[in-house]
Structure 1
Amino acid sequence: MLAALSNVGISSLDLIALSWFIIIWIVYIRFTRYKFYTHKVGLLAEMNVVRNEWASELIKRDNRIMDSQVINGLIRKESFFASTTMLIIASSLALIGAGDDVLKVFQNIPFSQTTSKVLWELKVLVLIVIFMFAFFKFTWSIRQHSYCSTFLGSIPAAKECETENAKAKSRQLAQLSSLAANHFNDGLRAYYFALAELSWFFHPFAFILSSTWVVIILYRREYHSKALAILKAR
């Protein structure tokens, strides 16, 4: 099999780099899920606490226009990323047909790897799959926040804020919003990893280093950033 892949221009180093990319992404996602659900640490966990506080306060308000605007603002943000992702996917599909012309450009770039047409198409396809993953995450986040908007209207008035029904619905709203935020965060991570995958167009070693570098950046921002320190100090 390796000989067949080598005949079409896909080296073992390319396969190692792609495997490392996939493994490190999956491991990081599982690590963040473990930290989130088991230890309740990180930016997402702290923001979930804030969402619970928001939900417990909104049931005390008769006028919930501000709360509705918060949800609509989240939906607009997610819609922007979803539409941008579709444009990127369309542009990436066009790159497959322009492989011969682009390969000539890469041949003139110092330190870049000589790439066959099959390997070029594989690199572009991997990029498309990453953005397709991001698109599904963003659109699911949009749907969940749209459900939050409808759910907000079902929460009882402020005079009933002490009832178990009102408190239960506020908790459900916070949980649904948190779930939407988790999916949006997965979509954003895909953008980071897509940037790492772009380095594969130059060399598989650069791909390995970029993938590792992206995980380090994500880890630092989610678990050791100034934003997290501010949230924890509230």
Structure 2
Amino acid sequence: MTSTLFTSLFPLLAYYAYNLLVPLVEKRRPSLSSIMNMQRRRWVSNATRRETPFDAILSGNIMGSVSFLASTSVLLVLAVFAVFGQVPAVMDTLGTLLVQHSFTVADVQIHLMVMLTMFVLAFFAFTLSLRQFNHFCIMLGALDHDRVTSEEEIDAITRMNGLGAKNFNSGIRAYYFAVSTVAWFVSEWLAVVACLVTILIIAHREFFSTAHRTAATAAVIAARHREKLKEGEVRVSGDGGF
């Protein structure tokens, strides 16, 4: 019973542990998300200098994706609730799938609660992300193009966008770790293995993937371009001085 409970809770514990450890790792090696935060600031900075529907279209696309996943989370929550009323039938089905048929009705009910918790966490993460992206759109739309936007205001709008992205990533991770809970129905220790593999896959995507290298390259190129512009401005101001 103890090992069964541990393997049921392991994906949920791993989800929380990963979300807590990533910020610590980011202090030593920037993640893909932290690199994209630089691009978010460039986006906001450029949006202050243009009066086109381009930024509204981009924001709408992002919010559409978040809204879709939030709606999917609701369907998954309802599906798990439906399974609660069919536990005996589920047990009969598991008898044909399990490597070792040792789960009790209580074990299955506890595991269904873990699955429900994962999908509820995903729902709250996505809806919070949707709300924060909505705030971002309002802040972006409130920009006054008749004056130069201060760096502090750009930073504040960028942080709101970053918060939305952070919670969106949290919801996606809940989906990833929920896959491990499905493996539990085949074998309880297979869920642990699937969870560890999930951690490796997510960590690779976040810190060592091709997308990470590409985003880092783009950030370096943008930084060099800004430095050249600053050097050019310094030379012009120096040439025009007395």
Q: Provide the TM-score with structure 1 as the length reference.
A: 0.88
Match of 1:133 in 2: 121
Q: Provide the TM-score with structure 2 as the length reference.
A: 0.85
Q: Deviations over 1:105-157 (max 9, x none)?
A: 11122514332111111111110010000000000000001111111121111
Match of 2:236 in 1: none
In the alignment, which of 136, 140, 157 is matched to residue 148 of structure 1?
A: 136
CA distance 1:100–1:18, change in 2 (3 Å): closer
Counterpart of 1:206, as a letter, is: L
Match of 1:105 in 2: 93
What CA RMSD, in Å, does the superposition of the two structures yield over aligned residues? Answer: 1.5
Counterpart of 1:223, as a letter, is: F
Alignment of 1:195 with 2:179, yes or no, is yes
1:39 CA drift (Å): 4.0
1:62 CA drift (Å): 2.3
- Identical columns (%): 23
Counterpart of 2:86, as a letter, is: A
Counterpart of 1:98, as a letter, is: Q
Match of 1:49 in 2: 38
Counterpart of 2:156, as a letter, is: Q
In the alignment, which of 8, 14, 17 is matched to residue 27 of structure 1?
A: 17
Match of 2:69 in 1: 81
SS of residue matched to 2:50: coil
Alignment of 1:176 with 2:176, yes or no, is no
1:23 CA drift (Å): 3.6
Unaligned runs of 5+ residues in structure 2 are: 219-242
Match of 2:147 in 1: 160
CA distance 1:213–1:95, change in 2 (3 Å): same
CA distance 1:110–1:210, change in 2 (3 Å): same
CA–CA separation in structure 2 for the residues paired with 1:82 and 1:47? 22
Match of 1:58 in 2: 47
SS of residue matched to 2:184: helix
1:87 CA drift (Å): 0.3
CA–CA separation in structure 1 for the residues paired with 2:28 and 2:81? 41
Unaligned runs of 5+ residues in structure 1 are: 1-10
CA–CA separation in structure 2 for the residues paired with 1:135 and 1:22? 15
SS of residue matched to 2:140: helix
Q: How many residues of Structure 1 are paired with residues of Structure 2 in the alignment?
A: 218
1:95 CA drift (Å): 0.4
Counterpart of 2:24, as a letter, is: Y
Alignment of 1:15 with 2:2, yes or no, is no
